[in-house]
Amino acid sequence: MANGKLLVAEKDGVHVLKFVGDVRVTLGPTIDAFLTSLLETEDFKSVIIDLTETKGIDSTSLGFLAKISIGAQDSFGIVPTIVSTNDDITRILLSMGFDQVFLIIREPLESTVKMGEVPFKNMPEEDLRKKVLEAHQVLMQLNEDNQNTFRDLVVALQREQESSTVH
Amino acid sequence: MNVGSGELLIVALSASDQDTHKEVMNYLVDSGLRSTLVTTEETCLTKIQDLSPDLIIYFLWNSTSLLDSSEFIQTIKTSAPDVAIIAIAQFSDTKLVQPALVKGADDYLISPIADYALLDHIVAKNLRLSKERSTRMIEGQKLAGLNQQLEESLRVLERDQRAGFEVQLAMLPKSPYKVGDVTFTHKIIPSVILSGDFIDYFKFADDRLLFYIADVSGHGASSAFVTVLLKNLSQRLSREYERLGLNCTAAILEWFNQELLSSELAQHVTMFMGIVDVDRGVLEYSNAAHFPGTIFSSKEKTEFLEIGGLPLGLYENPSYETNVLELPSQFTLVMFSDGIFDVMQQQTLKAKEDFLLGLVEDGTCTVGSLSDHLGLGVVKDAPDDIALFTIARAA
């Protein structure tokens, strides 16, 4: 990974993945292992991908996101949420057809009040509003104590992999 | 005091002050060091070769020129660069010390030696210095050897990859390729050596021209392997088109998707595919997440064709749209892979897309001129592969 970080946190069964900076993932197998373990979590409720602090995202990371969506839909019938406020990133998501497989929220966190106005298709408005609100609440709670809640996914995975190769 | 162990060479080239020479030598021998006294330059050099001393004690002597007594230190340094040298000057000749240090002595003492604890200290320190130097040199040599091996392995790997790229180049269609008045031209600049970007085109039996630009996720060797699969699929498509019964570009993309899925690859592929039908004057096309959008340019307008659609090799049953565009007698299609964005200076993605569109609108629409304008001739270490592909029909 160049100058990016991939962070993870969990709150009441809602798993949050936060991509920070210019994210270029090279850890194919470890990422897959994470995905498997994520989808095997017992109290799995939903996944929120926070791209609000993402500066760049490479194709491998996008493929990883796509696999999260496929896994969440296949295993739990859940459409994961992406929060993306950077227009460049949003455009890349749209170029990948992610509007078909994710709920994409483009509003920054502060504007929770206007949530009802977020335009969206293919989902009853009430459900949508609930989902968006939930995403924002989880993210805001996590943001308050960012440092403590999030852990560096890549570092954590590397450590796990190292210890498993030792045994 | 324990001054350490080692091989000592005592160099006393002048006959004067022999008492001090002996005294120092005897003291050091008593301290447990193996010491050898030499009195001529010639024996000194021979002994350096034979004994590889750890420390040299060099007696300076008074003469008409200040430099006389230290000149030989330089010769010693040349034949034994690691060994530490302690120069000893008589109390009356302390002015000899500075030139000796300049010529390469590491330390000095004044004789008569009034304080043997000082001699012990200086000898011990310089023995350590010699040992450190020689360890450093051995490690340096070891490192240099490893480095050389590494460079050699790298050369072998690189040669290997280049051979791979030659294979990859051979898989790419001929460029430029002219069918009637339609010309296909392409250029691929890999970020490493092997490329994950791929382009192919061929003519169906009914003269329609199929083309695609594809970008395998990631880059380098692993992505390059997937391009081999793509080439294989286009060859099957070309041979078995009738039998496969794929009647539009969307159906072809779905077929590519199924084939890629069944290979269970870690990568996915974005692809823009089109079929030029010169007889009917139409372009049929579908997009599977390829970005940036294909630029269509004619006398009337220059615009991006649709982006979006799901990438290939990830989803079970994606559906794609087939779009149809009427082709004027003169047109150009310009395609890039997203690696192009990495080498552009504009701040936002939107600005980069606008710039590309503007270039084509202003008539920069050949692979050569686009490559020049975008500085692709001088690109080094691009983070991603870059592909350029144009299809032009002249009037």
Per-residue pLDDT tens over the stretch B205-215:
999 999 999 99
| Alpha-carbon separation of residue A75 from A79, A114, B357 (angstroms) | 11, 32, 42
B54 touches A: beta carbon within 8 Å = no
B348 has a pLDDT exceeding 60? yes
Predicted pLDDT at A149: 63
Predicted pLDDT at A143: 62
User: Please, what is the average pLDDT of chain B?
Assistant: 92
Nearest CA-CA distance, residue B260 and chain A, Å? 14
As a whole number of angstroms, the distance between CA B89 and CA B100 comes to 10
A109 has a pLDDT exceeding 70? no
As for the ipTM of the complex, it is 0.77
Contact state of B309 with A60 under an 8 Å Cβ cutoff:
no
What's the pLDDT tens digit per position in A18-37? 888 888 776 556 667 777 88
Whether the CB-CB separation of A15 and A44 falls below 8 Å is answered with yes
Map out the domains of chain B with their CATH numbers: 7-140 (3.40.50.2300), 172-393 (3.60.40.10)
Predicted pLDDT at B386: 94
pLDDT band at A112, cuts 50/70/90? Answer: very low
Percent of chain B with pLDDT over 70: 98
Nearest CB among B218, B289, B292 relative to A96 is that of B289
Predicted pLDDT at A38: 80
Nearest CA-CA distance, residue A60 and chain B, Å? 6
Nearest CA-CA distance, residue B252 and chain A, Å? 18
Per-residue DSSP letter, A114: G
Name the more confident of B252 and A144.
B252
As a whole number of angstroms, the distance between CA A164 and CA A162 comes to 5
Average pLDDT over residues B369-380: 90
Which residue type occupies B149? Q
Predicted pLDDT at B1: 52
Q: Please report, for chain A, the start and end positions of each structural domain, with discontinuous segments joined by +.
A: 5-160
Contacts of B217 in chain A (CB under 8 A): 59-60, 62-63
What's the pLDDT tens digit per position in B66-99? 768 888 999 999 988 889 999 999 888 889 999 9
Predicted pLDDT at B300: 93
* Chain A interface, best mutation among B268, B316, B355, by max A CB count within 10 A: B268
Contacts of A96 in chain B (CB under 8 A): 270, 289, 291, 308, 310-311
B112 has a pLDDT exceeding 70? yes
User: Cα dihedral angle (B21, B26, B27, B28), rounded to 10 degrees?
Assistant: 90
A153 has a pLDDT exceeding 70? no
Average pLDDT over residues B123-149: 92
* Chain B interface, best mutation among A69, A96, A100, by max B CB count within 10 A: A96
Contact state of B310 with A32 under an 8 Å Cβ cutoff:
no
- What's the burial of A164, exposed, middle or buried (CB within 10 Å: 0-12/13-18/19+)? exposed
B307 touches A: beta carbon within 8 Å = yes
Query: CATH: 3.30.750.24, 2.120.10.30, 3.40.50.620, 3.40.50.800. Which one for A5-160?
Result: 3.30.750.24
Whether the CB-CB separation of B230 and B201 falls below 8 Å is answered with no
pLDDT band at A116, cuts 50/70/90? Answer: very low
Contacts of B350 in chain A (CB under 8 A): 87-88, 91
